[in-house]
Chains A and B, each alone.
Chain A
Amino acid sequence: DAKTTQPTSMDCAEGRAANLPCNHSTISGNEYVYWYRQIHSQGPQYIIHGLKNNETNEMASLIITEDRKSSTLILPHATLRDTAVYYCIVSNTAGGTSYGKLTFGQGTILTVHP
C-alpha cells in the first residue's frame, strides 16, 4: 500500500472549518483514500473514503486532487468533540482475498479550541 504523509498536529477554532491535508504521491490506480479518526481511548471511527471523485457525507467532505497525489479532509463546522487523531490511509480494496487491511501511520492530532 502507498504511504501517506500528514502534519503531526493542527489546531482549529470551534465552529470553523478544519482542513486536514494528506499527501499520497505514490498512490496507484486501484487504491482508495480512507480517513479514520480516533478519539482518546476509543476504537478508530470511519469517516469517509474515495477513489477519484470528491465525496461528502454527514460527517465530512473529501477533496482528492486530479492527479490523486494528495487529498484534504474537511470538517465544515468543527466542534470540541472533533478533537482526535485523524488518519489518512491508502488501501487497495479493489477486490480479491489479499486486500482490505489498513496501514495506519501516525496521523494528525487535531485540537479544536473553544
Chain B
Amino acid sequence: DTGVSQNPRHKITKRGQNVTFRCDPISEHNRLYWYRQTLGQGPEFLTYFQNEAQLEKSRLLSDRFSAERPKGSFSTLEIQRTEQGDSAMYLCASSLVGGRGYEQYFGPGTRLTVT
C-alpha cells in the first residue's frame, strides 16, 4: 500500500498526559499537512511542512502542540498536557508541489479521546 499511513489509529489518554502521533506520507510527496476534525465539522488546518521546513502554523496550534518532520520524511505531532478539548480526529495529508495543483491525499486519521 503506497498511501498515507497514520499510527496509532486510536488513542485514549487521560487528561494531562502527553501523546504523539506519527504520519508516513506517500514516499515522493514533499508536502505534509496536519488537520484536526471534531465531530460534525470539516477538517481544520493545523500546520504544514515542505520537506523538513514547517512553513505555516494555524493559531489553532497552541504551544502545547508541536510537529516535526525530520529529514523530510515521516512527521510526528505531539500534544503535551492533553485537555478534553483536544479530543478529535487528527488527519495527515501529503502532496507533491508543482504541476496543475496540489491535490492532497489523506491518511485514515488518528482518533484521540482524552478522558
Residues of A whose CB lies within 8 Å of any CB of B are 32, 34, 42-46, 49, 51, 85, 87, 93, 97-107
Known contacts A102-B45, A104-B44; A42/B108 CB under 8 A: yes
Do residues A101 and B50 form an inter-chain contact, with CB atoms below 8 A?
no
Do residues B56 and A105 form an inter-chain contact, with CB atoms below 8 A?
no
* B74 beta carbon closer than 8 Å to chain A: no
Do residues A106 and B45 form an inter-chain contact, with CB atoms below 8 A?
no
Count of A-B contacts with CB under 8 A?
A: 60
Q: Which of B78-115 touch A at CB < 8 Å?
A: 91, 93, 95, 97, 100-109
Known contacts A43-B108, A87-B42, A106-B42; A101/B48 CB under 8 A: yes
Do residues B43 and A104 form an inter-chain contact, with CB atoms below 8 A?
yes
Do residues A101 and B56 form an inter-chain contact, with CB atoms below 8 A?
yes
* B31 beta carbon closer than 8 Å to chain A: yes
Do residues B43 and A100 form an inter-chain contact, with CB atoms below 8 A?
no
B31 — nearest CB in chain A belongs to which residue? A100
Question: Across the interface, which residues of A come within 8 angstroms of B103, CB to CB?
Answer: 34, 46, 49
Do residues A44 and B102 form an inter-chain contact, with CB atoms below 8 A?
no
A103 — nearest CB in chain B belongs to which residue? B45
Smallest CB separation, B82 vs chain A (Å): 21
Question: Across the interface, which residues of B come within 8 angstroms of A49, CB to CB?
Answer: 100-101, 103
Do residues B50 and A102 form an inter-chain contact, with CB atoms below 8 A?
no
